[in-house]
Structure 1
Amino acid sequence: MTPSLSYHLLDVFTDRRFAGNPLAVVEDADALTGAQMQAIAREFNLSETVFLLEPRDPVHSARIRIFTPAAELPFAGHPSIGAAAHLAETRVGDLLSRHGVAVALECELGLLRCEALRGRSGVAYAELALPAAPATLAGAPGRAALAEALSLAPGDIGFDAHAPTIRAAGPAFVYAPVASREALDRARRAPQFSDAIGSAAGVFLYTRETVDPLSAVNARMFANGLGVDEDPATGSAAAAFAAVALEFERPEDGEHELFIEQGYAMGRPSRITLRMTVERGTLSRVAIGGQVVRVGEGRLRP
């Protein structure tokens, strides 16, 4: 391995430590191989670890690679939000309280254009716009099969017009509308979970019954093949939820802001901001954002 590398521990999608989704940010990682990055991510054993590299285009802020304990991802929301906030704070922190700072991140999905700022509370906030609209994929499991995979009854799946579907903003997720928060809290992965959802990165369960009345949905995400069982806050799934909201809620043309709460079942409450712009019935812009707090830092030994 290279000489010792500095790392930072952040909590993303929260305004207080030990909530939200924890993230490790490893700096100056250009000399690391993919296998070394995977080993480091497995050592941290968080939902994701993000590695900062020199950008291919020097006008951009950084190139990022994102790893779960078991796999590399082309894009994930909380590592990208955390990386943007970290870079803004460490490079131009004095400007955050006065102006928004633009951060451009290169990743496998494309160029992520982010903006970071610091609110009056002193907590950093970062928001990124997706380079492309979420995709709709075929092959969603039926209600009965999905309910069985989640240890629920068929009647627990669906509400109003909402039905199971598959969307992708990077990783693909099965979206499972759940009729109540009681059913959402009761959900558990069954032995047939992976067979039921195929190659999807996980199942994003959501219900309209929320803890915070300002939230649009309360959600959980059960991962598939990523080395973690459940994620406290899933930015890529929240981003693709814009396509779910468009199909089943039919919002009018214009800009819309939704708050997605997640992580309550894990004791790590999180809040994701989803912004979507609808033009002529289609999504013209999707962005996700959240607050980021620092927890600690250290060095990785060679």
Structure 2
Amino acid sequence: MPRFPYETVDVFTDRPFGGNPLAVFTDARGLSDVQMQALAAEMNYSETTFVLPADDPANDARVRIFHRTAEMPFAGHPNVGTACVLARHGRDRDGILRFEQMAGLVEIAVERDATGAVTGAVIAAPQALSFGIELPADEIAACAGLAVNDIITAAHNPVQASVGVKFVLSQVAPEALAGATPDLTVFRKLVRQRSELAGRLSLFLYARDGQTIRARMFAPLAGTWEDPATGSASATLGALLLSLDGGDEAAFTITQGVEMGRPSLLKVTSRRSEDGFHSRVGGSCAPMFRGEAQL
């Protein structure tokens, strides 16, 4: 009976039982797509990764990312966590890892402490900022169980945006953020009415105080009622805010997961380049469990 080893880590935290948990299957050769999806559902984390040999030997791995119901083209905490796991196995090259993914090539810089122990990683999102549809404030408020005047539209309307995977980003009043609660019926209705969403609605709400941000992310249609740390959405938000604020570079500190009892800290840097706005997102990573699946 084949055995497939895995490790779990808590990402965007420096201690166990915080941040966003992730399962990493460190050698997924021999697993079918159906088995990968079933394992991701069984692990029941927001995402699970499967490490395969790279198609290009210049890269370090092909990493596939699955949430509970589908495969993802890119995601933040799975890349940070997978990089930390592989680096602890000595699979980085001078502190750098390059992962092939559906959305493009993801380059990761591994972070270590003075003793050489892996403490975290910083990933570069694979795409420049792009936009999809804007959504009415009242519809987003209804999705999150908020009042319309809790949605702040002075800087931008609720908007679908991506640096590799799509989120709807919406600024909310600071005092309203903690009270947000996803309404599954409204999520389903909005997806039915808006074909441009292509069946996906991951809602990233944020309250801003300068470069410091508090955030929450809801994706109940994908099985994630709330996510404790969403690196790809944070990277998208950083690029969006830089595009609105002006300038060539910006740095943001984002706190997420507080309401879930899994506080997470994400650090985002965004820059303007010739082809648009790009972001990096990084943070710490705490090792948790090891095991194997027998299939």
| Fold shared per TM-score above 0.5 | yes
Residues 1:136 and 1:258: Cα distance change in structure 2 (over 3 Å): same
- Any runs of at least 4 consecutive aligned residues in structure 1 with deviations exceeding 6 A, and if so which? none
Aligned residue for 1:273? 267
What secondary structure is seen at the aligned counterpart in 2 of 1:295? strand
1:245, 1:215 → 2: CA distance? 10
Shift of residue 119 of structure 1? 2.6
What secondary structure is seen at the aligned counterpart in 2 of 1:84? helix
Shift of residue 195 of structure 1? 2.5
Aligned residue for 2:225? 229
CA contact (8 A) 1:14 1:290 kept: yes
Aligned residue for 1:10? 9
Q: How does 1:1-302 map to 2 (within 5 A)?
A: 3-91=2-90, 101-120=95-114, 122=117, 124-138=119-133, 140-158=134-152, 160-180=154-174, 182-190=175-183, 191-196=185-190, 198=197, 199-208=199-208, 216-248=212-244, 250-253=245-248, 255-279=249-273, 283-302=276-295
User: Residue type of the partner of 1:183?
Assistant: A
Shift of residue 202 of structure 1? 0.6
What secondary structure is seen at the aligned counterpart in 2 of 1:91? coil
2:127, 2:224 → 1: CA distance? 27
Q: Which runs of 5+ in 1 are unaligned?
A: none
What secondary structure is seen at the aligned counterpart in 2 of 1:39? helix
1:57-92 C-alpha deviation (Å, 9 max, x unpaired): 122111111111111101111111111111111116
Percent of aligned pairs sharing the same letter? 38
Residues 1:299 and 1:120: Cα distance change in structure 2 (over 3 Å): same
Shift of residue 163 of structure 1? 2.7
Shift of residue 300 of structure 1? 1.0
Residues 1:118 and 1:179: Cα distance change in structure 2 (over 3 Å): same
Q: Output the aligned Cα RMSD.
A: 2.1
Residues 1:178 and 1:265: Cα distance change in structure 2 (over 3 Å): same
CA contact (8 A) 1:251 1:278 kept: no
CA contact (8 A) 2:239 2:278 kept: no
Shift of residue 169 of structure 1? 2.1
CA contact (8 A) 2:74 2:165 kept: yes
Q: Which runs of 5+ in 2 are unaligned?
A: 192-196
User: Residue type of the partner of 2:123?
Assistant: L
2:139, 2:168 → 1: CA distance? 12
User: Residue type of the partner of 1:128?
Assistant: I
What secondary structure is seen at the aligned counterpart in 2 of 1:186? coil
CA contact (8 A) 1:168 1:240 kept: yes
User: Residue type of the partner of 1:31?
Assistant: G
1:201, 1:171 → 2: CA distance? 11
Residues 1:179 and 1:57: Cα distance change in structure 2 (over 3 Å): same
CA contact (8 A) 1:134 1:239 kept: no
2:143, 2:286 → 1: CA distance? 35
| TM-score of the aligned structures, taking structure 2 as reference length | 0.90
CA contact (8 A) 2:242 2:250 kept: no
Shift of residue 177 of structure 1? 0.7
CA contact (8 A) 2:238 2:252 kept: no
| TM-score of the aligned structures, taking structure 1 as reference length | 0.88
Question: Once structures 1 and 2 are overlaid, which stretch shifts more, 43-52 or 159-168?
Answer: 159-168
User: Residue type of the partner of 2:213?
Assistant: V
CA contact (8 A) 1:19 1:268 kept: yes
What secondary structure is seen at the aligned counterpart in 1 of 2:152? coil
2:224, 2:137 → 1: CA distance? 25
